[in-house]
């Protein structure tokens, strides 16, 4: 998938998953959805031309370079007898369920430990990945996403408990949402013609990096017509519907106010 498909599917997944993680505030659910949308672009840090690799200049370019080097070394050390003789840099290490789980767990436990140690530390441990993911989402959706997310998050910033306590409440769940974004990215790539080795390191048919993909007639080309139709006809309406029921659940008056009627 291209970045538009990854971002919008990540947004849908985040909006749907946040309430199941105990995130009940509509503002926090919207924030979680946008964070997941940004996280759905993270696996492409293994490509030098990707949005995630270019977003913060030298910082993300250096991170991209390091990830590509690690991925190449891991591929060389673990490839099976039937794996391709490629360099293993793109669509390998970061495009795996293992990477999504490890990154999500790192943010989960890191933010929780920081919150337990001191509220200010918990605030910093949550805000740092949140801001990075928001910047990735903004790169795809445009500047309006920053304005919309800030407006939606105002109750968090101005609430009775204050922004520090609100961010500490997200310590833990934010890791799941970031891991979910990476996982959704892998699923999106797995239904393209190239496939995705997201079950690494489980060996399949002599390949440690076996590209998971559906039958040939169900695959589509990344960035092709099928992906554009799915994004426009399925995922964008789904994201709008999830946003509406998040901001105005079971309240017709609130719903009309939300959509400006």
- With beta carbons less than 8 A apart as the criterion, state whether 136 and 51 touch: yes
Reported as a single tens digit per residue, the pLDDT across 121-165 is 999 999 999 999 988 988 888 776 766 676 666 666 666 667 788
How far apart CA 169 and CA 163 sit, in angstroms, is 10
Longest dimension (CA), the chain: 62
**Coil, strand or helix at 244:** helix
**Mean pLDDT value across the chain:** 85
Exposure class string for 67-90: b at 16+ Cβ within 10 A, else e: bbebbbebbeebbeeebeeeebbb
pLDDT at 102: 96
Residue 254 clears pLDDT 50, i.e. is over it: no
Q: How many CA atoms lie within 13 A of 225 on its CB side?
A: 0
**Coil, strand or helix at 192:** strand
Reported as a single tens digit per residue, the pLDDT across 217-234 is 777 777 778 888 888 889
Count up the domains in the chain and report the number.
1
How far apart CA 4 and CA 145 sit, in angstroms, is 14
Q: Which domain holds residue 109?
A: 3-258
How far apart CA 257 and CA 261 sit, in angstroms, is 6
How far apart CA 108 and CA 126 sit, in angstroms, is 9
Q: Taking Cα atoms as reference points, which of 38, 18, 12 lies closest to residue 103?
A: 38
How far apart CA 171 and CA 95 sit, in angstroms, is 25
The torsion angles phi and psi of 248, rounded to 5 degrees, stand at -140, 65
How far apart CA 235 and CA 177 sit, in angstroms, is 18
Reported as a single tens digit per residue, the pLDDT across 20-69 is 988 878 888 888 999 999 999 999 999 988 888 888 889 899 999 999 99
pTM summary value:
0.88
- With beta carbons less than 8 A apart as the criterion, state whether 109 and 173 touch: no
What secondary structure letter does DSSP report for 12? H
- With beta carbons less than 8 A apart as the criterion, state whether 46 and 89 touch: yes
How far apart CA 87 and CA 92 sit, in angstroms, is 10
Q: Taking Cα atoms as reference points, which of 38, 34, 28 lies closest to residue 246?
A: 28
Percent of residues, the chain, with pLDDT higher than 70: 88
- H-run or E-run covering 131: helix 119-141
């Amino acid at each position: 998938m291209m970045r538009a498909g990854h971002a919008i599917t990540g947004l849908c997944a985040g909006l749907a998953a946040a309430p199941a993680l105990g995130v009940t505030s509509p503002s926090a659910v919207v924030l979680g959805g946008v964070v997941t949308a940004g996280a759905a672009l993270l696996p492409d840090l293994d490509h030098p031309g990707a949005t995630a690799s270019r977003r913060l200049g030298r910082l993300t370019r250096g991170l991209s370079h390091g990830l590509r080097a690690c991925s190449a070394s891991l591929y060389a050390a673990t490839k099976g007898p039937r794996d391709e003789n490629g360099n293993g840099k793109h669509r390998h290490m970061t495009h795996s369920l293992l990477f999504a789980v490890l990154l999500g767990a790192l943010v989960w436990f890191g933010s929780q430990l920081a919150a337990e140690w001191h509220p200010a530390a918990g605030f910093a441990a949550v805000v740092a990945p949140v801001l990075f993911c928001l910047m990735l989402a903004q790169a795809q959706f445009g500047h309006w996403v920053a304005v919309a997310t800030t407006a939606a998050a105002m109750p968090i910033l101005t609430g009775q408990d204050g922004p520090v306590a609100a961010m500490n409440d997200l310590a833990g769940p934010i890791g799941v949402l970031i891991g979910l974004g990476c996982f959704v990215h892998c699923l999106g790539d797995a239904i393209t013609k190239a496939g995705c080795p997201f079950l690494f390191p489980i060996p399949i048919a002599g390949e440690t990096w076996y590209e998971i993909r559906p039958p040939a007639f169900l695959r589509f080309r990344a960035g092709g017509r099928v992906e554009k139709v799915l994004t426009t006809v399925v995922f964008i309406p789904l994201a709008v519907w999830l946003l509406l029921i998040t901001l105005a659940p079971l309240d017709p008056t609130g719903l009309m106010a939300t959509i400006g009627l």
